[in-house]
Amino acid sequence: MRGTTRKSCRRSAKPVTLSFMTQSKVLFRPSEEEILEQEVKRHILITPWGGLLKMLDPLYNWGRRSSLWPLQFGLACCAIEMICTAASRFDIARFGAELFRASPRQADLMIVSGTVTKKMVPMIVRLYNQMPEPKYVISMGACASAGGPFKEGYNVVSGIDKFLPVDVYIPGCPPTPQALLHALITLQKKIDGQSIKTVRWYGKPEGEEVPVPLLGPDLVDVRRAEEIREKCASPEGQAKPVPLPVMIPAPKATPAQADGVSPAAAALSERINKALGEVVAAPSGNSLMIESSALPKVARYLQLQPDLALDYLSNLTCTDYQDCYEVVYHLFSTRRPGPAVTLKVQMPKEDPRVPSLMPLWPGADLQEREVWDLFGVRFDGHPNLKRVLMWEGFEGHPMRKDYLEPYYEAPDKIFPSRWKEGRHQRAEERTPFSDNVKYPAGFDPARWSAPKEGFASAPDTLVINLGPQHPSTHGVFRMQVRVDGERIVALEPVMGYMHRNHEKIAERNTWLMIFPYTDRLDYICSMGNNLGYAIAVEKLLGVKPTERAEYIRVIMAELTRIVNHFWATGFLLNDLGAFFTPALYAIEERELILDLFEMASGSRMMCNYMRFGGVAADLPEEFLPLCNSLVNNRLPKAIEQLDRYLTKNEIILNRCRGVGVLPRDAAIAYSAAGPVLRASGVEYDVRKAEPYSIYDRFDFKVPTFPEGDVYARYRIRIAEMWESLKILKQALKEIPNGEILAGKKLWNIRVPAGEAYGRVENPKGELGYYVVSDGTDHPYRYHVRAPSFINLTALGKMCEGHLIADVVAILGSIDIVLGETDR
């Protein structure tokens, strides 16, 4: 049939032209061919090739639009919303897109969900290249589209579309699951409009890949290598001079009798000097100034004195002052409650060095590496001092005050270019390379050779990389594992793939502006992050929140703990192979709590709800009844269900018991915090050890388990949820009416000069904020003690001797969030 049609088509072509030519002669008598043609047209359906293809298009498009398989790949906060979209409330399966594939070779949709960092973008491009055509890209959220709120950061790419072709952009930070579904529908509509004749993947030459960018002194787009070389050879490639941030002199050691010196600090320094027989310590405010060379001796003394028992190195960071670098140590005792003992060591600006505390506290490992990475302070005696958040070869130490990012505009916000004559200008337009990059003068990408990284090879062992794109690393985290057969000989965590310069940006922000950024640290627990920051700054401000605000804060913080532990338990089961079913039910309860957060604060995840002296807005009237019914009816049932079905499950028992054991002493020495510390038998909880807010009024226990294995870390979370429910019930019963903010609502706050370390027991462990104020409207130094980051220090120790498959379970039991790990 079809043959006939085509033949007649061809035959009829010639006579028609003839008939035109002979038209004047034979006017009204059509030729035989014309009659034949008309007959053919009348009785036989003629479809030209193009028409046939057009008929095929709906079918062709329907097939692709209805089976968009996303890559199981998440970058940051938006990925959490993406996971929620796949869970039962929004159910992406209704669109045929539920098959999240762990391998790019099976996926055809890449949802770039979150901040694209320079360290991660080579992997993203590689993943994209590995996806077979047809493939689509959804850029989810402001960060993926253009860098978002982190755009100004030194490790952030200004939009994934600089490297990959994007089909749909979703504004929002983060877009809600419904917004992602809307984008999916938009993409489906786009696919509906495509035609098999014009789609890009037919007739495309093989091997047409996006060139993978290079990590040089900064990110190098190799397609622009020649341009970069040329510009770097001339002054054109260097940034124009701009005003530097103002630096302040460091606080100095003072005589014990001086004003502002705490008697405790004075007494302790005197005791140290006496015991060690030399003058190595002096008080300075609330802290002790220690001679650099005597630091290990002093630390050892403080650790061993039975009445002090400062066995827990909680926080270690650095401040860049005008005249020196100052490394700060916050020490606590796990055996007695009380505030921190702060040690400080100052060192000159030229070649700053300090002895490493690794021999005393292996928990100093990652923190010392972070200080080296970001400040360039060397720790003598550290066995593995290399960069941790940025990559080896990166130019500069970015937390130094004189390090200016490519998009640096002014020393601190508020930028004058925004108001009165605020004509919109993209940050790209101000830089020599029209991008968030800068290179040293004379840099030539062709000559760049990257420094070697990784383990030294050893006979009979093999080095395996898990991550940064791996379905069970809970984000963009990488583990370098050396295995002997299936057994792990050594493991090293590699992070920084989501390092989005939280601290650097915060030091430019005003005090208030930091609140929404803290939401994006541990984005599962934004309320807890808000609370920690508020408490640290309230210490300096001397503000006491109102009674009602305190109760609201506690309610929110404990709801957050339940949210987090549901999530952590669900995803631990994911890692154990019970893929997504337990997580689905865990996420269901979480959704209901998120509804409460959204009702009170306006956002499911990025609550931005606390303010100095209170909270942003009072609870809406429907909040308390809903919260009460959730806390009294639904949540106990859900926790009970988790407990009943999981705790005695034979697979869980077999895979978790005796795996990843962290003994009690090691847990303390490795600075483990939160559930990881308590699962090793240490009864230490900031809510009891240094009660903040109004936790001293509630009756609750601190659950501990002595085993220190994955199973104990699972069970401690269930136990903590019960305790949180207990606190919630009390708080909901006692919550008073009244004001929700102490004092007036101010948008620009000046904080008195000084420094404070505020800490809260966040669901993942001790979350600390170290803030230094110079009396202006923005912090001089702002540091986050991130429990997810520091808990990873012990990961290598926990994994040694276990099987590769156990690594996944051990990591899941630590419960990390990359937003906080990398900050």
Partner 1 sequence: MRIYGLELLRGLTITLRHFVTSYMGGIFTVQYPEERLKPPERFRVLPVLIFDGKKEEQWKPETERCTACGICAKVCPPQCIWIVQGKDPATSKPVAKASEFFIDVDVCMNCGFCAEYCPFDAIKMDHNFELGGGERDKSHIFDINKLHVSTEYYAETHPKAWSEEQGRKKADADKKAAAAAMKNQMGSDPAGSDPNRVSV
Contacts to partner 1 from residues 725-764, by CB under 8 A = 745, 747-748
Check residue 516 for interaction with partner 1 (CB under 8 A): yes
Please classify residue 622 by burial: count the beta carbons closer than 10 Å to its beta carbon, then call 0-12 exposed, 13-18 middle and 19+ buried: exposed
Q: Using the 8-state DSSP alphabet, how is residue 205 labeled?
A: P
The answer to whether 680 and 818 are in contact (CB under 8 A) is: no
| Contact pick of 14, 204, 418, 701 for partner 1 (by CB under 8 A) | 418
Stretch (H or E) spanning 270: helix 263-276
* Residue numbers 599-628 binding partner 1 by CB under 8 A: 599-603, 606, 608, 616-617, 620
Instruction: Please name which of 120, 124, 73 lies closest in space to residue 101, comparing C-alpha atoms.
Output: 73
Interface with partner 1, residue 242, by CB under 8 A: no
Q: Does 199 bind partner 1 (CB under 8 A)?
A: no
240 makes contact with partner 1 (CB under 8 A):
no
Complex with partner 1: residue 460 or 650, whichever CB lies closer: 650
Give yes or no for residue 423 binding partner 1 (CB under 8 A).
yes
388's CB contacts (< 8 A; 6+ apart) are 366, 369, 370, 372, 373, 495, 496
647 forms part of the interface with partner 1 (CB under 8 A): no
424 makes contact with partner 1 (CB under 8 A): yes
Torsion of CA 554, 558, 561, 565, to 10 degrees: 180
Q: Which of 82, 142, 302, 677 binds partner 1 (CB under 8 A)?
A: 142
Residue 650 interacts with partner 1 (CB under 8 A): yes or no: yes
Give the side-chain half-sphere CA count within 13 A for 231: 18
Name residue 173's amino acid. Answer: C
- Establish if 379 lies at the interface with partner 1 (CB under 8 A): no
Which CB atom, from 132 or from 422, has the smaller least distance to partner 1? 422
Determine phi and psi for 50, rounding to 5 degrees.
-60, -40
Q: Point out which span in 111-119, 124-132, 415-423, 464-472 binds partner 1 (CB under 8 A).
A: 415-423
Q: Does 636 bind partner 1 (CB under 8 A)?
A: no
3-state secondary structure of 156: strand
Contact region for partner 1 (CB under 8 A) — 256-264, 419-427, 754-762, 804-812?
419-427
Report 300-319 residues binding partner 1 (CB under 8 A).
none
User: What minimum distance in Å lies between the beta carbon of 377 and partner 1?
Assistant: 29
By the rule CB under 8 A, 657 interacts with partner 1: no
Bridge partners for 755 per DSSP? 772
SS3 call for 29 = coil
x/- binding map, residues 559-578, to partner 1, per CB under 8 A?
-------------------x
Stretch that binds partner 1, among 56-64, 143-151, 194-202, 339-347 (CB under 8 A): 143-151
Q: Residues touching partner 1: how many (CB under 8 A)?
A: 84
For residue 420, state whether it binds partner 1 (rule: CB under 8 A). yes
Lookup: tokens for 718: 């269930």
Cα-Cα-Cα-Cα dihedral sign, residues 320, 115, 74, 122: negative
Asked, as a colleague might, if the bond just before 535 is cis with ω within 30 of 0, I would say no
Question: Distance between CA atoms of 143 and 147, rounded to whole angstroms?
Answer: 4
Which parts of 104-252 fold into alpha helices (H)?
Answer: 121-130, 141-146, 177-192, 225-233
Task: Take residue 617 and report the two structure tokens written for it.
Answer: 């807005």
Q: Does 518 bind partner 1 (CB under 8 A)?
A: no
- CB nearer to partner 1: pick between 650 and 696: 650
Nearer to partner 1, 109 or 616 (CB): 616
Q: Is 114 left (phi over 0), alpha (psi -120 to 50) or beta?
A: left
* Angle value at C-alpha 315, between 313 and 317, nearest 5 degrees: 130
* Residue among 413, 430, 697, 750 that touches partner 1 (CB under 8 A): 413
Nearer to partner 1, 79 or 488 (CB): 79
Q: How far is the CB of 514 from partner 1 (least distance, A)?
A: 8
Those residues with Cβ within 8 angstroms of residue 430's Cβ, 6 or more apart along the chain or in another chain: 407, 409
Nearest distance from C-beta of residue 747 to partner 1, angstroms: 4
Q: Kindly identify the residues of this chain, within the stretch 167-186, that bind partner 1 according to CB under 8 A.
A: 167-173, 175-176, 178-179, 181-183, 185-186
Query: Nearest approach, Cβ of 242 to partner 1 (angstroms)?
Result: 16
Q: Within 13 Å, how many C-alpha atoms sit on residue 118's CB side?
A: 26
Give me the 147-166 binding string for partner 1, x by CB under 8 A, dash otherwise: xxxxxx------x-x----x
Taking CB under 8 A as the binding criterion, the range among 358-366, 433-441, 591-599, 691-699 that sits at the site for partner 1 is 591-599
Nearest-10 Cα torsion for 324, 249, 508, 411: -100
List the interface residues with partner 1, window 492-511 (CB under 8 A). 509-510
Per CB under 8 A, which of residues 82..141 are in contact with partner 1? 88-91, 94, 138-139
User: Cβ closer to partner 1: 473 or 530?
Assistant: 530
Residue closer to partner 1 by CB (options 169, 403) is 169
Establish whether the linkage from the previous residue to 263 is cis, with ω within 30° of 0.
no
Give the interface segment with partner 1, choosing from 230-238, 545-553, 648-656, 665-673 (CB under 8 A): 648-656
67 CB contacts (<8 Å, ≥6 apart)?
96, 97, 99
- The yes or no reply on residue 679 touching partner 1 (CB under 8 A) is no
Residue number with CB closer to partner 1 (33 or 91):
91
Going 781 to 786 to 791 to 795, the CA torsion angle's sign is negative
Burial (CB count within 10 angstroms: exposed 0-12, middle 13-18, buried 19+), residue 443: buried
